[in-house]
Amino acid sequence: MIDLKREADVFVLRFDVAENRFRPDNLAAWHEALDEVEGAGNPAALVTTGTGKFYSNGLDLDWMLGEADEETRRTYIPSVLALMARVLTFPAITVAAINGHAFGAGAQISLGHDYRVMRTERGYWCMPEIDMKSPLHPGMIALIKARVSHQTAHELIVTGTRYTAEMALAKKIVDHAVPEAEVLPKSIEIAAALAPKADPAMGLLKQGLYPYVLEALAGPMSTPS
């Protein structure tokens, strides 16, 4: 489900479930892995990646609407938003090694990382809600707006464009676009160079950068007019 390996100063978290969609059990495993990285002190950095053709396909709405009980449905999306908030303010450098498709909440959590390295030739980065006729939580919108230009945020939300790595790089959604074999090594290289920056102060600095995003992620689906 979640495999965490340490390579010198860099922890590599590999997400390995069906389409790497978020569910309560793997969300708990994400937090356990993040606890381990955070507890390692300095130096340390984190790289996250997926398996197969998916980095993460985001929320598992079919499961939520079909199998999940009422209490789980109530807490499910807030728990995904809480993971986004934790990644956004993690007290060490984080790099998303986007090995394949990153859709919806999977795309959003990649934006919570400090850097993104995306595979060329295969895989898309996409916010598909317009085609699903589905609204976005205000926290999701706030996260997107905080990490890409307003023009790009508008485009990716209202058009549902499927960005290749080259397209995502041109829009500054990702920082690097490289062949498949280079995605993880490049991500580890970036993380390793900045591993000595790990410190509780980094978490505080990130909180200071994104107070409105954190407030929105912790808030309700809609706000009063």
pLDDT tens digits, one per residue of 29-77:
999 999 999 999 999 999 999 999 999 999 988 888 787 788 888 899 9
- How far apart (Å, rounded) are the C-alpha atoms in residues 33 and 7? 15
How many residues comprise the chain?
225
* Residue 113, CA atoms < 13 Å, CB-side half-sphere: 28
The amino acid sitting at 145 is K
Residue 223, domain member (yes or no): no
Which residue range forms the structural domain that includes residue 87? 2-217
- How far apart (Å, rounded) are the C-alpha atoms in residues 212 and 9? 32
Considering the entire predicted model, what is its pTM?
A: 0.95
pLDDT at 225: 35
Give the SS3 label for residue 51: strand
- Both tokens of 44, joined, read 């340390």
What residues does 116 pair with on adjacent strands? Answer: 96
Residue 224, domain member (yes or no): no
Residue 203, domain member (yes or no): yes
Low-confidence ranges of the chain (pLDDT < 70): 222-225
In the block, residue with structure tokens 């199998």:
67
Count of the separate structural domains present in the chain: 1
pLDDT at 224: 39
pLDDT at 49: 98
Give the SS3 label for residue 38: helix
- How far apart (Å, rounded) are the C-alpha atoms in residues 2 and 119? 21
CA quadruple 143, 145, 149, 153: dihedral sign? positive
pLDDT at 60: 87
CATH of the domain at 73: 3.90.226.10
Residue 147, domain member (yes or no): yes
pLDDT at 69: 82
pLDDT at 107: 98
